[in-house]
Amino acid sequence: MSVSADSIPAAPSSRWSLSRLAHDHNVLGVLFLLPAAAFLLVFLTYPLGLGVWLGFTDTRIGRSGIFVGLENYQLLWEDHIFWLSVFNTILYTTVASVLKFGLGLWLALLLNERLPFKAFFRAIVLLPWVVPTVLSAIAFWWIYDAQFSIISWALIKIGLIDSNINFLGDATNARASVIAANVWRGIPFVAISLLAGLQTIPPSLHEAATLDGATSWQRFRHITLPMLTPIIAVVMTFSVLFTFTDFQLIYVLTRGGPLNATHLMATLSFQRAIPGGQLGEGAAIAVAMIPFLLAAILFSYFGLQRRRWQQGGAD
Amino acid sequence: MASVEIRDVRKAFGATQVIHGVSIDIVDGEFVILVGPSGCGKSTLLRMVAGLENVTGGEIRIGERVVNDVPPKERDIAMVFQNYALYPHMTVADNMAFSLKLRNAPKSEIEARVKKAADILGLGHLLDRYPRQLSGGQRQRVAMGRAIVRDPQVFLFDEPLSNLDAKLRVQMRTEIKELHQRLKTTTVYVTHDQIEAMTMADKIVVMHDGIVEQMGAPLELYDRPANMFVAGFIGSPAMNFIKGSITANGKAVFRTEGGLELPLATAPAGADGRPAVYGIRPEHFVIDEANGIPAEVVVVEPTGSETQVFAKLGGQDIVGVFRERVTVGPGDTIPLTPNPALVHLFDAQTGQRL
């Protein structure tokens, strides 16, 4: 007769002992979860919750406020500067994301070819992403300087224009300029991620398509692009989220000017909350960004769902 | 359908030459298998025929046309890849129809051709599936379907069965051979598996280090290997090679390095005392209680249909294969006689057949 481990009666005193707890999967699970949960609670949930709460109060810097319901949002609803910032943010995000996607994909395709010094070029491409935003923003500030802009100087020397371009002083120019700077900074992320995606496409697929009679454009259209869609969805979701919440670049280059033409929701929120002291109103602007961000995430959630061809048995 | 002519073809990657002048004639409708160990250049040669690699030197003709500089899509060939290279985002039907769609073939024709190919391969019920939802053998069949739909001049197969399990491989082997008998399309097939080569080919081309060692019908290669490489490569288990020298005074015999005398039917002229290698296939040993040479058994491997006996004969390792049941164990001695009519003699230096 064999005696299984279960049938040995446990000593009553050891029933709730530490060693017994340490072997309970549920207890262990909770224990292992705690650090992560605490981290999320302290650094994500609490600030977010605080932000949402502040949005319902009239808190100012140095004076705790009282609950005012939707008053902040009612004010914002009638505030044309807020609506301008919403428009700016959407314009900025849309144009910059489209450009980043187009140029990034192009760059990725180029880097995926057999090039001399390939590793060198791949490293160089990452530079704009590696440099701290504030640093590159200051560099752009110089490039866009009304008097000393190198672009104006070069164009004048070539003879294309007669006087300096007012990059950051004119509403349209300023918008284009900040978008250009953002695109420059965001391309590496898109390019390198898509390059990684390109490299997961087996070369034999391209060979098979070549033998099937596909031109290089047809190979791109029928093989590369469809196989890249899952990674495009991820990359562009992140790119849109980063761009929508951009702050540093604008704050260094224009501080939202001229005439609020480049004020994004993030910069306006900061402007009202910290220099303006209206913490409640600033928080309300920040909270107003949430629906847009949620929409972007939902869009990518549905876009990211595994397509039918990705399902089924393993290889 | 067309013939394929490979004339003194060379290939170099940078400074490294990998194919050193290969010439092969493939007749219209023939099933030719390029076989050889990894790195012998067989896949590279196939890819040159396909147009996926440039030809460094020499000439490749498909039909009457020199195709060295013809882009792959104009060569009218279809290729089956080792990993099948099915388009994962397309259904089976779309995979097969892809080349026709690119050619802007009429929809009715595409449907008819896909259906016909699917019927040939028994894929009818899988047309709406995606490659991921198929088993290895089914994917293999879709890859062949994609080739059949094109109705090309030449089929190229690049180790198409390597990714399948052993049982399926045997089954697909038969299917491919049957398909070829039915379609009679010129086929060039690359494999490293000599059994595949032996069972399927009309003509085998044995390659090694970028040259052709021998080419011919399967049994020709088995019966009269041109050199020790082919002798050792074709046949499983591999041929036994026993070093020694030929004695032709009076009765021709082969004297091994250990001093044993092995029978020879005839000795090549003027070969007396010549150092040589005695090649005897494992299946050409006979158990001969009366006159056999005693060999010490090391390992016995019964497979059911036959028994493989690994033994030491005059100090050299040999293997014998016997259809009859052999009841010996390690350490026993077994009296073996090589069938003198089926012995192969090779030059000790060059490895060429004597």
Q: Does A306 contact B at CB distance below 8 Å?
A: no
Same domain, A91 and A38: no
The pLDDT assigned to A305 comes to 66
Same domain, A39 and A119: no
For the cut 60, the answer to whether the pLDDT of residue A10 exceeds it is no
Most A-contacting residue of B132, B140, B144 (CB-CB within 10 A), to test interface: B132
For the cut 70, the answer to whether the pLDDT of residue A307 exceeds it is no
Beta bridge partners of B227: B352
Q: Is residue A162 part of a domain?
A: yes
H-run or E-run covering B20: strand B16-26
Same domain, A287 and A145: yes
If you measure CA to CA, which chain A residue comes closest to B82?
A204
Please judge whether A202 and B83 are an interchain contact, meaning their C-beta atoms are less than 8 angstroms apart: yes
Q: Is residue A238 part of a domain?
A: yes
Please, are residues B334 and B326 in contact by the beta-carbon 8 Å criterion? yes
Most B-contacting residue of A205, A211, A228 (CB-CB within 10 A), to test interface: A211
Same domain, A173 and A251: yes
- CATH code for the domain in which residue A190 is found: 1.10.3720.10
Q: Is residue A247 part of a domain?
A: yes
Q: Is residue A315 part of a domain?
A: no
Average pLDDT, chain B: 91
If you measure CA to CA, which chain B residue comes closest to A205?
B85
Considering only residues A180 and A65, tell me which one the structure prediction assigns the higher pLDDT: A180
Please judge whether A209 and B89 are an interchain contact, meaning their C-beta atoms are less than 8 angstroms apart: no
Q: Are strands B77-80 and B307-313 parallel, antiparallel or unpaired?
A: unpaired
Q: Does A223 contact B at CB distance below 8 Å?
A: yes
Could you read off the pLDDT of B63-93 as tens digits, one per residue? 889 999 999 988 999 999 999 999 999 999 9
Confidence class of residue A306 from pLDDT cuts 50, 70 and 90? Answer: low
Q: Does A227 contact B at CB distance below 8 Å?
A: yes
What are the two backbone dihedrals, phi and then psi, of residue B205, each rounded to the nearest 5 degrees? -115, 115
Same domain, A41 and A82: no
Could you read off the pLDDT of B23-66 as tens digits, one per residue? 999 999 999 999 999 989 999 999 999 999 999 999 999 988 99
In this complex, the residue of B85, B102, B150 whose CB is nearest that of residue A204 is: B85
Please judge whether B132 and A227 are an interchain contact, meaning their C-beta atoms are less than 8 angstroms apart: no
Task: Read off the pLDDT of each residue in A7-14 and give the average, rounded to a whole number.
Answer: 50
Q: Is residue A175 part of a domain?
A: yes
If you measure CA to CA, which chain B residue comes closest to A211?
B73
Measured torsion, CA atoms of residues A226, A228, A231, A233, in degrees rounded to the nearest 10 = -40
pTM (predicted TM-score): 0.80
If you measure CA to CA, which chain B residue comes closest to A314?
B132
Whole-complex ipTM: 0.84
Please, are residues A61 and A280 in contact by the beta-carbon 8 Å criterion? no
Please judge whether B132 and A313 are an interchain contact, meaning their C-beta atoms are less than 8 angstroms apart: yes
Least confident of A22-31, A209-218, A247-256: A22-31
Same domain, A31 and A97: no
Least confident of A98-102, A228-232, B24-28: A228-232
What are the two backbone dihedrals, phi and then psi, of residue B123, each rounded to the nearest 5 degrees? -105, 5
| Residue whose entry in the numeric block shows the structure tokens 């017994």 | A20
Q: Does A217 contact B at CB distance below 8 Å?
A: no
In this complex, the residue of A204, A218, A310 whose CB is nearest that of residue B102 is: A218
The set of residues, in sequence order, having a beta carbon less than 8 Å from that of A292 and lying 6+ positions away, is: A89, A90, A244
Q: Does A213 contact B at CB distance below 8 Å?
A: yes
Same domain, A166 and A244: yes
Beta bridge partners of B203: B32
Q: Which residues of B touch A312 (CB under 8 A)?
A: 129-130, 132-133
Task: Read off the pLDDT of each residue in A87-108 and give the average, rounded to a whole number.
Answer: 95
In this complex, the residue of B89, B131, B146 whose CB is nearest that of residue A227 is: B89
Same domain, A35 and A117: no
The pLDDT assigned to B266 comes to 82
Confidence class of residue A314 from pLDDT cuts 50, 70 and 90? Answer: very low
Same domain, A104 and A230: yes
Same domain, A32 and A145: no
Give the count of domains, chain A. Answer: 2
Could you read off the pLDDT of B232-286 as tens digits, one per residue? 999 889 999 999 998 887 788 888 888 888 888 887 777 778 889 999 999 999 9
Q: Which residues of A touch B81 (CB under 8 A)?
A: 204, 207-208
Q: Is residue A185 part of a domain?
A: yes
For the cut 60, the answer to whether the pLDDT of residue A4 exceeds it is no
For the cut 60, the answer to whether the pLDDT of residue A208 exceeds it is yes
The pLDDT assigned to B120 comes to 87
CA distance to partner chain B, nearest, from residue A208 (Å)? 7
If you measure CA to CA, which chain A residue comes closest to B84?
A204
Please judge whether A209 and B98 are an interchain contact, meaning their C-beta atoms are less than 8 angstroms apart: yes
Please judge whether B87 and A208 are an interchain contact, meaning their C-beta atoms are less than 8 angstroms apart: yes
Same domain, A21 and A161: no
Q: Which residues of A touch B129 (CB under 8 A)?
A: 312
Q: Is residue A278 part of a domain?
A: yes
Domain coverage including residue A167: 70-310
Q: What does the H/E/C string look like for A84-129?
A: HHHHHHHHHHHHHHHHHHHHHHHHHHHHHCCCCCHHHHHHHHCHHH
Please, are residues B95 and B131 in contact by the beta-carbon 8 Å criterion? yes
